[in-house]
Amino acid sequence: MISLSINGRSYDVDVEPDTPLLWVLRDTIGLTGTRYGCGIGPGPARCISTMRRYGSCSMPIASITAGAKITTIEGLAQNGTLHPVQQAWIDHDVPQCGYCQSGMIMAVVALLKNRPKPTDADIDDAITNICRCGTYQRIRTAIHAAASA
């Protein structure tokens, strides 16, 4: 049995220690905003813990630090108000297919926590998610807008 704090709520899960966090989130807890991409890290399977990004598809549940507070895309909006990054995504029409967007948004939230006013170089270094639709220019614009919010 492993205890997790996800989006401010406690969960006790009974899974094998090598079960990836992604499958615990999706299959055990029912939080499906985190999506499976490639299974090796750069895709849409992102969540954050104390603003450290996790590639949840490759993170075994046993490697989660006791007491870590995990936030998924479902936990960003507060009291009916979107997170500034989510709002910037809407304002700048970032998503096309939308598949990668939850992971992309979570990566940006972590970036802005550590670098509130990122440069283009900071964005290039930190945002390694892959978007097949190629909305990178709109993503960059939305990041700068969220940083200014």
> For helices 101-114 and 84-91, what crossing angle results, to 10°?
130
Q: Tell me the range of 39-53, 106-120, 127-141 where mean pLDDT is highest.
A: 106-120
Q: Using one digit for the tens of pLDDT, what is the confidence trace for 15-32?
A: 999 998 888 999 999 998
Say which CATH topology domain 2-75 has. Ubiquitin-like (UB roll) (3.10.20)
Give me the chain's average pLDDT, please.
85
CATH superfamily of 84-148: [2Fe-2S]-binding domain (1.10.150.120)
All CATH 1.10.150.120 domain ranges in the chain, comma separated: 84-148
pTM: 0.84
- The structure tokens listed for 30 are 């029912």
